[in-house]
A and B are shown apart, each in its own frame.
Chain A
Amino acid sequence: PRRGGTGEMWEPADAAAVPVLPPCAGCWIPSPSPQDILYRNSGCRKLRPGKSGARLDFAKQLGHFFMDHPEDAFGSMGRLLHKNFYLGNSKLQVSVCLGRMVLSPSIPLAVSTSASSSLQRPARNSTIRMTALMEDIDRLEARRGCHRQHLASRLRWFSHLCREWLFEVPLGLLADCLHEELMLQWSDLLFNDSLTGGALAWLPPRDTGSCIGRLVHPGGQAMNQLYFQDMVLEKLPHTRGFPAQFELSGRIWQVAAAQVDGEDFVGVRSDYHCGVWRVPGRTGAVPTPLQVIQTDLPASCLTVSPHLPGELAVCTQSGTMYLWNVETGLQQLRHDTETMFFRDHSPWRWSDFTAHPRVLSCADRTGLQCLDARAPRKCHFDLFKVGEEAGCQQGERVVLPMYLGRAHPSQYLVTTQFSVYMLDERLPLVPMLKWAHMMKAPPLFAQLMPGHSGRSHKVVLGASSSQELLLLQYQGERYWGSQSACQLAGAPQKLHSIAGCLQHLPTQLPHRHHLLQQRLGAPAAGLAATLQEDGPQESMLVFQLSEAGDVFCQRLTHKAEAELPQESCASPQPTPAVPSPAAALQYRRWLRTLFRGCGKPPQHTWTPSLSQRRLFTRRDLEGPAGPSALQSQVRQWLRQVMREGGRIQHWEPLALQPPALPQPPEPVGSPDPLSTRLMEAWSGDWEQWWEERTSFSVAQRQQALRERRRRQKRARARRSLSASFTSSLTYQSELSELSDAGPPLPSPGRPPVLSQEGSPPASSQLAASPPPSPAPEEALLSSQSLRCRGIPKERRKTLRDYLSVWATEPPDSPELPSSQASQLCIPSSQSQLSSASQTRRKRPRMGF
């Protein structure tokens, strides 16, 4: 039987893992999620990892490239062409004087002179005005997210012409690179084997009495800072002093450590660099970097020899394996791009040490081999093979091999995505123990805590993406072939993951909760575990590192057999439901630091804005500088009200009831038709009401028709009389239409004081003007009025849209001429429009 005896009882001391380090400064950039890479429309389809059915969102990524690296994409072509693109506002004119062409107004002098010296052909022909195109692009930007997004024909034309040559980077090449990168990112997302081994190491205290160990972990926004942090192991481990810090040139993937001759050697692997540090035995001694090597291909493995100081094993992707000695340098042991036992596409390689300091294991996804560093080509044997001998499943692959030398000199642990195998190098190929771990993600990290004097050895397995942690105990005898075989002891046990502490944190605001969820749910990046004895109590500390750089710790306490009542042997006490006060304090502290650092995330709120330039010419927009007297008065008034904490009472009704009522005329004071209808329906004589209603509407329609005819007549008469009055009047009716279409926004510039003053003319005007007519007539009228104001047909619609959406105050409004006092009641937001129309209207007259 695989399982024998009862394992030791280890009980979690707290409800969840507790942060031991303050969150690293600066915001963490989450690694890409599937949504970032996959084509959006296929999001609803179920992703099956086995099939290569992932559709990468290629166009979006290419678009990102053009947006993020415009200098690379268009730089040189832009420099070449900038003479030929003119971005000014005025018309492009060419004046020829004495054989010199001068482009007015904004071509730099240098260009014109050089043009004069070298070019004789007219510059007009080689320069185009891009303003309109830019405006089109702006408009396109502004309309992003709008459903009716139609491409301007000019843009289409331009892109059709320039698609082939405008960017520097050859598209085919870029596409290949991008595709490759996307595939890489995608495969990383499915399974990132760079993390194998984990980037967290614990350097145990040197003398058994001491409780100060050292945690080696990466940090910083790019995970390229290496920290050596002294930790005091008490009930909750806490930091002591400041960490020794090293900045590396790449993201740290793996931190491996081993103790040789009382000194710790720490190996650090990033993609193209591997380094080794020595940490002297004295507490508080400064770690010294010893050597760094650079590799051509990304390194996939770095292990530190437990036998000889300053010796490490390095593997690069696609099959080169080195023995690295700090004194003698690198020795290549193996170079083989093929996998060992059968063909597998993965370039991942691993290497570890064995019981013999000169014999190294060498692994790929298909199995393990041991080879002698003294004669690597000749002396080797197979240690583990994915296949029948080990009873492997189909598709099973080696994920992490580990030498268990500290527990037993000849034992080896091999994990695959399905099972855990224990091997003895003296009886290779036949695993001594096989156990299906059933973890959701393949175990990329493993930590051994050897148990001495007949006690079980503990192994903690850790997965990356699911953050799972599993504690196993096994008993292996000291000398193979004697009484006890290698067996699991007791049931495996699940440990807390980082994400599990979310429910114990104080309640957060939703967006913070989301942020926390994202942060705590980040894939695990490392694992370290240690046993600690303080007096009679023995405890196990398990540290877990996340990709966000957070280090969380949990403590398990050992329950000796004698302490336990017989019953609880089978059903232990459940883990505490709430975190201890100390842990809660730690959580709060951690959260505070986290949100202080991340409180101001870079705001990319991209509010759509519309340029007014393309609606009106500059001259239209030109107005007297400074706010009008009216506006300043209103502002003053507003400030005063705000100071007093009062309410603005007068302008509210005015805003809701524009001078011209868009509603069909209803008797004042009577409820709206719906309410009356309901009321009637309730009282039972609904039919009668309907009769009345239909007859009323017939009468109403006749009335309206009559009104219209009358109005048209009057308008004709007015046009000949006074244009200015007409414009103001039609403007009012138009405004009423607009405010009907859009929500009645209370414009901040509206003068409540003046409204009282201005109401007599407004009311008189209302009285003078015919009663408002239904909307279609208004539209007709307004478009007429627009036309008669000289606004071209194409612009009318835009203008109306514009006004309906952007009923806010423009930065500078022109001061109104005092002669048009009747217009004062017009909301200032539109006043500039009227003044524009005024000027427009006036000009031709001046020309007469």
Chain B
Amino acid sequence: SSHEHKLNFTKSKEVCLSYIQDAMLQKQWKRAAEFLTSYVEALEKDYSREPIGPSEMIWRIGTEILCHHSHSSMREFNCFIEQMKTLGIKRYLKVCLEHVFHLLCNGQTDEAYQNLSLAESWRFGEQAAIQDKEMKLIRAYRGLLDYHSWSKQKNILLEHGLDGFADLSVEQEMHSSFRKAAVNLKEIIKIPGVWDLFVKCYVDLLEFYGDHNEAHQVLNEYAYNSKFPANPNAHVYLYQFLKRHGESKKSLVSALKILHDIAPSHELMIDFNTMLQKSKKRKKRRLGLEVIFAALDYAGWKENAKAWSCLARQVKQIVISDKHLDWIKQEWNCRKDWWPAFHFSRYLAKRNWQENKSLSYEKALVAGILLGKDCKYFKYVSHQGCKAQVKRFRMLKKFVNRHNPVYLRICS
């Protein structure tokens, strides 16, 4: 019968949990809280072998309810969390971390910092070693808060520095913040992972103190270490860093080249294309054409007038110079079966004309060259343009008509 009792207990526990879930999903926080008080009994006989035990359940549900309940205060919330910390030693640090997030979301930075420091000094036999991952995160977030106070002090100093008045104590405090932040931030970004926020802060610190080499190295490591996930942001940061420090075009191009390989649809591709178009090297200009074609493959770029003007400019250049038509031909070859429907349908011509005239101009130019003067898109837009007596469109019509043979060569 004890088995039966156990079974009944588990059953009623599950039922209670489903009631709580039901209430929470209908945003009836009061009802959920009432059920939760009954659910607390589940703690008494915790036989479960499930991945999420009752104590964790209570923590999660309670936090959620307190976040939304109309009559809850921050003090109550803190009180609840303290209880939860002692209830579940196995996830002490996790609870701490979530608590800190909550405090930060409510603008209580100092309390958050205190909590982090407390958590950092927490020792509990083996448990502290098991929760090593969380401990690292706690240190990292403390580093982040140190960085935060550092940048605040820095702003104060910069303001006052202009007046010629430097507060020594503030400066000292700032430096100590820097040291504390740097140590912790440096630790976390050694572990493979996505640490965009920490890397940015750390680089900012290093840059301020003029340690460019270290910063460069950190960014290089973050971008190129194969243990880290392929993160486009890492390359963006590297590129921005290099650009800030006036590095050579070559290194900028190589940074963006990798970004292009990882994320051909990144918005920096426009910068990349303009950079490459200006280049004197044929190879680079060729790459530029590739980059802009690849970017326009993506649905998100469909109506990007800037990108279309980049492409139009480059295509026009090539047509006028009558050199490297084979580049266009090659790019066009793998797109000719779907770009017309994707970019140059009659429906889109109408819509683009209505919504964005300059976009339709650029697109019409590209369409006219790639698909000839009989293409639907070009025909519609040039017709509308001429009807509206816009000079630009008349020029466009003339240009395309003149260069119609190009189309035949691209197509062949």
Contact = CB atoms under 8 A, between A and B. Distances in A.
B21 interface: yes
B227 to A, nearest CB: 13
A4 B297 CA distance: 33
Contact of B265 (A357, A409, A493): A409
A577 to B, nearest CB: 13
A309 B341 contact: yes
Interface string B91-104: 00000001001100
B27 A355 contact: no
Contacts of A261: 345, 347-348
Nearest to A574: B28
Given A307-B342, A410-B300, A570-B69, A1 B194 contact: no
Given A307-B299, A481-B236, A571 B25 contact: no
Interface stretch (A102-110, A164-172, A422-430, A621-629): A422-430
Given A426-B262, A570-B29, A358 B297 contact: yes
Contacts of A355: 265, 298-300
A387 to B, nearest CB: 13
B70 A571 contact: yes
Tell me the dominant secondary structure on chain A's binding face: loop
A492 B29 contact: no
Interface in A258-296: 261-262
A427 B194 contact: yes
B394 interface: no
Interface in B74-117: 98, 101-102, 105
A491 B230 contact: no
B30 interface: yes
A356 B267 contact: no
A571 B265 contact: no
Given A261-B348, A357-B338, A494 B26 contact: yes
A409 B300 contact: yes
B27 A308 contact: no
Interface string A294-315: 0000000000001111000000
B263 interface: yes
Given A427-B232, A491-B27, A308 B338 contact: yes
B24 interface: yes
Interface in A353-389: 355-358, 374, 389
A426 B68 contact: no
A426 B265 contact: yes
A567 B71 CA distance: 9
B220 interface: no
Interface string A452-491: 0000000000000000001000000001110000000001
A405 interface: yes
Given A261-B345, A493-B25, A572-B27, A4 B298 contact: no
A574 B27 CA distance: 9
B22 interface: yes
Contacts of A570: 29, 68-70
B229 A427 contact: yes
B384 interface: no
Contact of A430 (B68, B194, B263, B342): B194
Contacts of A430: 194, 229
A405 B298 CA distance: 11
Given A426-B232, A491-B64, A494-B22, A567 B263 contact: no
Nearest to A426: B263
A429 B25 contact: no
Given A307-B342, A427-B232, A571 B299 contact: no
Contacts of B233: 427, 480-481
A470 B25 CA distance: 8
Contacts of B236: 481
A652 B26 CA distance: 65
Contacts of A427: 194, 229-233
Interface in A381-413: 389, 393, 405, 408-410
Contacts, number: 98
Contacts of A492: 25
A479 B229 contact: no
Contacts of B246: none
Nearest to B193: A430
Size band of the interface chain B makes with A: 35 or more
Interface string B295-324: 001111000000000000000000000000
A355 B345 CA distance: 19
B266 interface: yes
A1 B69 CA distance: 19
Contact of B69 (A429, A568, A571): A571
B388 interface: no
A438 interface: yes
A159 interface: no
Contacts of A480: 232-233
B162 interface: no
A358 B338 contact: yes
B29 A409 contact: no
Contacts of A426: 232, 262-263, 265-266
A492 B24 CA distance: 8
Give the one of B196, B267, B342 with max A CB within 10 A: B342
Contact of B299 (A262, A374, A409, A493): A409
Contacts of A356: 265, 297-299
Interface string B328-361: 0000001001100110010110000000000000
B51 interface: yes
Contacts of A76: none
A89 interface: no
A479 B267 contact: yes
Give the one of B70, B229, B232, B338 with max A CB within 10 A: B338
A575 interface: yes
B51 A393 contact: yes
Interface string A338-356: 0000000000000000011
Interface in B239-284: 262-263, 265-267
A481 B232 contact: yes
A480 B265 CA distance: 11
Nearest to A492: B25
A509 B338 CA distance: 61
B232 A429 contact: no
A429 B70 CA distance: 39
A837 B297 CA distance: 100
A809 to B, nearest CB: 55
Contacts of B70: 567-571
Nearest to B351: A262
Interface in B183-241: 194, 196, 229-233, 236
Contacts of B300: 355, 408-410
Nearest to B100: A1
A491 B26 CA distance: 9
Contacts of B51: 393
11 contacts: A307-B342, A308-B341, A355-B265, A357-B299, A357-B338, A405-B299, A427-B233, A438-B21, A491-B68, A571-B70, A575-B26
Given A261-B347, A358-B297, A409-B299, 14 more contacts: A307-B342, A308-B338, A328-B337, A355-B265, A409-B298, A427-B229, A430-B194, A470-B25, A479-B267, A480-B232, A494-B25, A571-B68, A571-B69, A574-B28
The 7 A-B pairs at the shortest CB distance, nearest first, are namely A409-B300, A494-B25, A570-B70, A261-B347, A426-B263, A1-B101, A571-B70
